[in-house]
Copies of this chain bind each other. A is one copy, B any other.
Amino acid sequence: MEAMPDARIVPDGRAQQIAAGLRAAITAGRLAPGTRLPSVRQLQVQHHVARETASRALGLLVADGLAMARPGSGTYVRPRAERLPLSPDRYSRVSRQEAASPGPPAPNDRPPRAAGFRGARTAPAETHLAAVFALPVGAPVYERTALLTHQGAPACLLITHYRPEHLAGTALAAALENNGEREHAFEVLAAHGLAPAAVTEQLLTRSPTDAERTLLQLAGAEPVMEVCRIARGHNGHALEHARLVYAGHRFLWSYSHRL
């Protein structure tokens, strides 16, 4: 049997104490989002502490996602974003409804769109992808990448794959490339006679890579949600393979099912 040695509830230390004070003020609402926190040198003299220690205190808040540092300017209380609910229902509303919704826009109404960074190419399928599409390894697949934004902030990295015969030389490829994710890809597929009939999603959470941290503008330890989605047609063949990397703190995934 393994003993459980570690039970440190809260590691003390001056930096932790200073951070705790600011953390309490932030979570209690005394320091509004966007407020500039005391500077490193201010904390240094206020708490009679070394510069490095004061800097570490602010670093702890940044790591918690409570604050963000802007070098040369200051450290600011991070605005807490509402989580946008995402449910599979959004795949069903294939046709875009322009119905003016009364009151505030329904949160699930507009999933992240508006691509900021796009690309499309033909790439050889690696093993996993080949298995999904029932193609030999290395066979060409159509690949499309995008960075989706929501409410002006980057929200999700997207890599989708399609069978080349579904697109090559058809209007579908052009439609997918030209629309800046204004329409959901499912709508485009359906409009070309390839309406998905079933979707499977696999979700996992992890800490972001460096590239993801900058592209999604993640602060400190904020995790990403990685979703692998496979859409299949009525015959069970894969129509689309998508790998989505969400800024985890901005969304909420909903699923329901009968037993």
A252 vs B206: C-alpha distance in the bound complex, in angstroms? 11
Are the CB atoms of B10 and A210 closer together than 8 Å?
Answer: yes
Instruction: Please name all residues of chain B whose beta carbon is closer than 8 Å to the beta carbon of A152 when the two chains form the complex.
Output: 2
A256 nearest in chain B by CB position = B200
Copies of this protein, total = 2
What residues on B are CB-neighbors of A7 within 8 Å?
A: 214
Partner of A223, one of B196, B207, B210, B253: B207
Tell me if A6 counts as interface (CB < 8 A to partner B).
yes
**B88 adjacent to A255 (CB under 8 Å):** yes
B207–A222 CB distance below 8 A: yes
Q: Chain B residues near A253 (CB, 8 Å)?
A: 202-204
Residues of B within 8 A of A200 (CB): 254-256
Other-chain residue from B198, B204, B207, B251 in contact with A252 (beta carbon distance below 8 A): B204
Q: How far apart are A226's CB and chain B's nearest CB, in angstroms?
A: 10
Q: Is the CB of B65 within 8 A of A197?
A: no
A126 interface residue per 8 A CB criterion: no
- Contact yes or no, A8 B214, CB < 8 A: yes
Taken together as a complex, chains A and B put the C-alpha atoms of A2 and B5 apart, in Å, by: 49
A214 and B255 contacting across the interface, CB-CB below 8 Å = no
Complex contact A259–B223 (CB within 8 A): no
Bound together, the chains give a CA A136 to CA B6 distance in angstroms of: 42
CB-defined contacts of A254 to chain B, threshold 8 Å: 200-203
